[in-house]
Every structure is written in C-alpha cells, then in structure tokens.
A and B are shown apart, each in its own frame.
Chain A
Amino acid sequence: MSLLTRFTAYSAKPALAGSWGVVNFGELDALVVRAREFLRQLKLDRPTAFGLIGEHGPASTAWLLVLAEAGHFVAPLSGNAVEHPAKLALINAQWIITTEPLSWSLYPRVDEPSAHPLFARLREQGAAGLILFSSGTSGVPKAMVQDFPKLLATYESRHESRLPVLALLGFDHIGGLNTLLGSLAAGSLLVIPASRAPASVAAAIATHRVAVLPASPTFLNLLLASGEVEGHDLSSLRVITYGTEPMPESLLHRLKAAFPRARFIQTFGTSETGITRTESPDPGSTFLRFDDPGLEWKVVDDELWLRSRTQIAGYLNASNERFTDDGWFRTGDKVELGPDGTLRILGRMGEMINVGGEKLMPAEVESVILGVPGVIDCRVRGEAHPLTGQTVVVDVVAPAADQEALRAALRTACRQQLARHKAPTRVNFVAAVSGERLKKTR
C-alpha cells in the first residue's frame, strides 16, 4: 500500500508533532490535497525541478509526497540558508517552495528546465527524482539524484506501529527522510524537537513519550554529557538506533547504563545507497549484520562495497567514479569482519593514521579517551611529524578539568588499553569539536 493511501487508513492517528502542535494523518492528508491543487494550478506540462525549503513538518512532508506523486524532481533544503542559492543553481530549480510548519509559499526561479542527462533519463522513465546533497571532499556539495518512486516503494511493506519516533536528523538528510518515511508508512507519530540541542530533544521525548530515538554516537554522547537525562523522564525510550559514524564501545557501555530499558540497534546507510536494515548480533557489541534483501555487500581491501536496490541514479555535478561498472558503490568505510557474517565500521579509509609504519584508526583511540572521567568529547587525527611520519593528536573538550592531570590520565588510559603507538602525543584542550566523529566525505 502506498504512503498516501495509508494516510486514509490511519486518519485519526497522530502523524507529526512539533512546537506548532500535533497533526493527525487526516489533517496531513488535507494538506496533501491542498498542495496537489496548488501544483495543478502551476500548469506544468513536464517534470520540473523544485527546491523545497524548510524543516520537518506537515507542509514540507505534504509537498515532498505530492511532488513525488506528480513525477517532479525535488531537493529538500534545510538548515543554513547560506548554502541554498548555490544548491538551487546546481539543480537549476525552476520553482522554490518555502514551508512553515503548516503553510507554504511558491516562487518561480528560472524558466528553462535543466538539460541534465540524469533528469532526462528519469523523465523518460516517468520517475520522480529526489535530490540530496553530500559534502564533497573539496567542500563543494555533491548533488545526488535518486529514483524517488523506487525509494518510496521500499516502505510499502512496513507494518503498522504505535511507537512514537523522534526526528533528529534533518529534512534534507537521507537519515532524516528515512525516519520520516518510515514513521509515515508505519502510522507512528513523528516527534520533531524545537531544536537538536539535548535539552530540546529530551523535552520532546518526555512530552510525547517517544519510544524510538534514531541518533548518532556524537549526539548520544552530548546527551549524556548535558545532564538532561537526569532532568527529564526518558523512560518511554525502547529503541535507540545509532549510525553515521563509528560507535565507541566505551560510549555504548555508558549509554546502556543510562538507558537500561532501551535496546541499542546499529543502523547503516549512505546517501548513495540508502539506509540499510541491519541487526546487532549482540546488543553490547558494535558489530552489525546486514539484514536487507535489497542489499549486497562485500569487503575489498578492508573497504566496504555495497550494491543496493535503492542506490542513486547518479550525481549532477560529480563523476560516478565511486561506483564500479557493475554497480558496486565503494563506501570509503574501513571495516573489520567478525564471526557469522558480521562486520564493524572502523572509520573512513582516509582517516587511517600511520605512526612510523604502525597504523591505527581514530575511532579506537576516541573510544578510550571518551571513557576517561572529565572528558566530554574528543576528536583524534593524524598530524605530520618529522620524527615518526605522522603522530596522533587529540582535541579534547573537558571544561572542568585540571589540564595537566587529564593529559597524563588520558594518555595513560590509552597506553593501558591500546598498542603503544596509538596514545596521543599531543593533547589540545578546545571549547568544542566540530562535526560528527566520523568525518564523512561521501
């Protein structure tokens, strides 16, 4: 059953909740009907590129689905508006829709449709396109085009669920869209926090009795460090999923202690291949197993390669060099194989640090350092050094600590738990570390 058909069946159930209130599936369906009418009045005679600007909410959701249904190309754009003009230009958007939670405005942008061959191919197939951006290695965002109906079809087999879900990742992120589409398909309530700050998220969980929290290790670490876990009733949480970066084992142990009633499930996804269903053979371990009939995987020279039913049709502004001729996507993730077809994400291939010929990944060192009392967050990286080629450097957030003592303590912890070359030689105390722990370049 398609998503929009399900809205009728779920009619009275709450669909989306945010600072603007709660909207049920029937009300969401009414917004879909209105958006459809707006679109009809534009009298578009061919598939057209739209920029859909806004955060998670009823109006943005309605437009996303209406544009997909009508076979158009849509780029959801959220967050920092500074990046929007360049992205709109990149996709040659003809129309811009700006959304508030419950309303929208439409603006024409350019007359001429994009002549990009990828769009032409999807037009020929009669397929709508979903355009997502990833931070390219050079800093220029890469525009990825996905066959939208093919992606939506993967949600058609979802079973109905009553568990409210929290939307942590944005409306412009494959993970955030996966959470949205999954909860719509299951008829569950998607709770949108006022912001992604731990206090907002904890308040939203407590208010709406959220049961499922899809998150990243970085966010979960921040949540523990913020003290908000003690300040709110988070006992409704049943499932906490984590992905997008390696999970430090020390953090997983602290999380299990803080949320003894929650199951921890690792997810895995890339913008290029979509979010993959996985299972954790042992909830206490950071190994995972792919459990997705639409996905093939293999490991080539320690790198994870994926081939999936939902992978992108291509890039608008980059070559397909990360895809092999026979359709495998080189993820750039360095993995380790475990027993029984399991594997563990160690980090990005390019992140490997080489100290005098001995190698290590930042994530294993970060895991140890995060377990040292007083450390709130950290990032480990390699730095060139004339004596050892590279050396291990850590940026540490530890506002309350005696820096001299903590520096010795965290190096000692690394020496006790890791091979000697993995202990950081330089410890920088910083106010904040940037980005996700896993520096994504995909």
Chain B
Amino acid sequence: MLTREQALQIVLRRLAALGHELGKPELAQADEQTRLFGETAALDSIGLVTLIADLEEDIRVATGQTVTLADEKAMSRLTSPFRRAGLLAEYVVEITRN
C-alpha cells in the first residue's frame, strides 16, 4: 500500500529517468501538474505506454503487487488517470489499495 506522496515520488522519479533516456531533460523538473498525454504533453503515445510499463515494474518492486495500470477500466474513466502526473499517482494509490 502506498501513500499519495509515495506514489507521486515513484511517478516523478520514473518520469525523470525516462526523460533522461528520451533526451527530454525537462522531465526531471516534472511535478504533479505535468501533463503526460494530450496536446502540449511531454510524452507521445509510445512514451506514455513505456512510462506505464516501467511504473508497473516500479510498483512491483515497491509493494510486491503485480498491477495493470492501463486497462479498459482506466481508459473508460471520465477523467483519464494518464492526463497529469498527480492524477496518475492517485490512480496508483487506488489500485494498490487492495
């Protein structure tokens, strides 16, 4: 089980690492308002899929839980959890709660 703050740290750390890998150093300064997907976002669709895959691994390491972040349930939400870093962190807390 993760707190919102812990989940946010995991998301931001992973964003920074992926930014380093993708040559987007600005992602090291990401915060919970950082847009992940959509117009003006830092990542394209493949970048977002990569972030999600890496986060699933980070969550497994941190909690021992195997989770799927991107599934139909997540996609059909009115507010996509992939829109901003903070929303994604909240979604991580939610699905690791059980």
Contact = CB atoms under 8 A, between A and B. Distances in A.
Interface of A: 355-356, 385-388, 391, 404, 407-408, 411-412, 415, 420-421, 423, 425-427
B92 to A, nearest CB: 17
B71 A408 contact: no
Nearest to A421: B46
Contact of A385 (B17, B22, B49): B49
The CB with the most chain A CB atoms within 10 A, among B46, B71, B72, B82, is that of B46
Interface in B39-58: 44-46, 48-50, 52-54
Contact of B50 (A356, A386, A404, A411): A411
Contact of B71 (A386, A411, A421): A386
B75 interface: yes
B21 A425 contact: no
Contacts of B53: 391, 425-427
12 contacts: A355-B46, A356-B46, A386-B70, A386-B71, A387-B49, A387-B82, A404-B17, A408-B17, A420-B46, A421-B46, A423-B46, A423-B50
A387 B50 contact: no
A386 B21 CA distance: 24
B21 A411 contact: yes
A197 to B, nearest CB: 32
Interface of A: prevailing SS: mixed
A412 B46 contact: no
Contacts of B70: 385-387
Interface in B18-47: 20-22, 44-46
Contacts of B45: 356, 387-388
B74 interface: yes
B17 A425 contact: no
Contacts of A423: 46, 50
A412 B74 contact: no
Contact of B49 (A388, A404, A408, A427): A388
Nearest to A355: B46
A407 B54 CA distance: 10
Interface residues of B, number: 19
A126 B50 CA distance: 61
Contacts of B82: 387
Given A386-B70, A386-B72, A391 B49 contact: yes
Contacts of A411: 21, 50
Interface of B: 17, 20-22, 44-46, 48-50, 52-54, 70-72, 74-75, 82
The CB with the most chain B CB atoms within 10 A, among A387, A421, A427, is that of A387
A387 B48 contact: yes
A388 B48 CA distance: 10
Contacts of B46: 355-356, 388, 391, 420-421, 423, 425
Given A356-B45, A420-B46, A386 B17 contact: no
A408 B53 CA distance: 13
B38 to A, nearest CB: 12
A386 B49 CA distance: 9
A408 B75 contact: no
Given A391-B49, A404-B17, A426-B50, 7 more contacts: A387-B52, A387-B75, A388-B49, A411-B21, A420-B46, A425-B46, A425-B50
A404 B52 CA distance: 15
A404 B74 CA distance: 27
Contacts of A420: 44, 46
Nearest to B58: A404
A385 B71 CA distance: 7
A408 B21 contact: yes
Shortest Cβ-Cβ A-B pairs, 6 listed: A426-B53, A425-B50, A425-B49, A408-B21, A386-B75, A425-B53
B3 to A, nearest CB: 24
A423 B71 CA distance: 21
Nearest to A429: B57
B28 to A, nearest CB: 14
A356 B45 CA distance: 9
A391 B56 CA distance: 15
A385 to B, nearest CB: 6
A410 to B, nearest CB: 11
Nearest to B49: A425
B35 to A, nearest CB: 16
Contacts of B54: 407
A175 B68 CA distance: 42
A412 B21 contact: yes
A415 B54 CA distance: 17
A91 B22 CA distance: 57
A430 to B, nearest CB: 13
A284 B56 CA distance: 41
Contacts of A356: 45-46
B8 to A, nearest CB: 20
A2 B48 CA distance: 64
Nearest to A356: B45
A421 B20 CA distance: 18
